[in-house]
Amino acid sequence: MDEQERKSRLRTLHIVLALSLITNGLNALSYFTLSFEGVRNMMQNNMQLIPEVMQESYDFLLSIPSSFYLVSSLFYIIAFVGCLIMWRPRGIGFHYYTLAKLLLIGTPLVFIGRQYFNLGDLMISLLFIVYYFISLRSLDAFSKQTTDNQETPTNSESSENSEPSESSE
C-alpha cells in the first residue's frame, strides 16, 4: 500500500473513530449520571415537568436498577479507551472496543430481561467492529510492534546465523 492510500485510510478511520468517541463518551457520561440515586430522585420529583407522552419512558428508565447504569458506563468507558488506542492505530484497542461492545449487548439481558434485547444495537455494533477490523488489518495494526532501535531478523538471516552473535553495536 502506498503512502497516499495509507493516509486516506487513516483519515477515514479517524472520522469513524471520532463518531465512536463521541457516542461512547456521551453514553458513558449519561449512564454514569443515571447510576446515582440522587439524580434518579430528582428526575422522579420533576416528573410533572416532562410531557405526558414521555412520562412512560421516564418511568421505565427509573425502574431499571442503578447497577445496570453503572456497569454499562464502565463498558462504555472501556469502548472509549479502545477507540483512543485505535486512533494511533493499534490493534489492542480493537480488542478493548470489541469486548466492551459485546458486553454492552449482553448487559440488558442480565439486568432487564430478554424482551429488551436490541437487535439494532447488535447490528450497528457488529458493523463498526467489522469496519474497524478491516481498517486496522489493512493498516497493519495487528502486526507485532517493534521498537525503533530493534530490528527483527528475516528468515534468511536467522537461518544463516544459527548461533547468536555477540557483537556490540
Q: Does 122 fall in a domain?
A: yes
Greatest Cα pair distance, the chain, in angstroms, is: 81
Q: Is 105 exposed, middle or buried (0-12, 13-18, 19+ CB in 10 A)?
A: middle
List of residues 6+ apart from 144 with CB closer than 8 A? 152
Please give the backbone phi and psi of residue 113, each rounded to the nearest 5 degrees, phi first.
Answer: 135, 160
Domains identified in the chain, total number: 1
Q: Does 54 fall in a domain?
A: yes
Please give the backbone phi and psi of residue 35, each rounded to the nearest 5 degrees, phi first.
Answer: -80, -10
| Cis-peptide, bond into residue 89, ω within 30° of zero | yes
Q: Does 97 fall in a domain?
A: yes
pLDDT score for 58: 85
DSSP symbols for 90-150:
-HHHHHHHHHHHHHHHHHHHHHT-GGG--HHHHHHHHHHHHHHHHHHHHTTTTSPP--TT-
pLDDT score for 56: 86
Expressed as residue numbers, the domain containing 86 is 3-141
pLDDT score for 145: 59
pLDDT score for 149: 44
Q: Does 163 fall in a domain?
A: no
Q: Does 160 fall in a domain?
A: no
Q: Does 168 fall in a domain?
A: no
The per-residue pLDDT string of the chain (169 residues; one tens digit each, 9 = 90 and over) reads 789 999 999 999 999 999 999 999 999 999 999 999 998 988 888 888 888 888 888 888 888 999 999 999 999 999 999 999 999 999 999 999 999 999 999 999 999 888 888 899 999 999 999 999 999 999 999 987 544 444 444 444 444 444 444 444 4
Write out the three cell numbers for 21: 468517541
- pTM, two decimals, is 0.80
pLDDT score for 114: 85
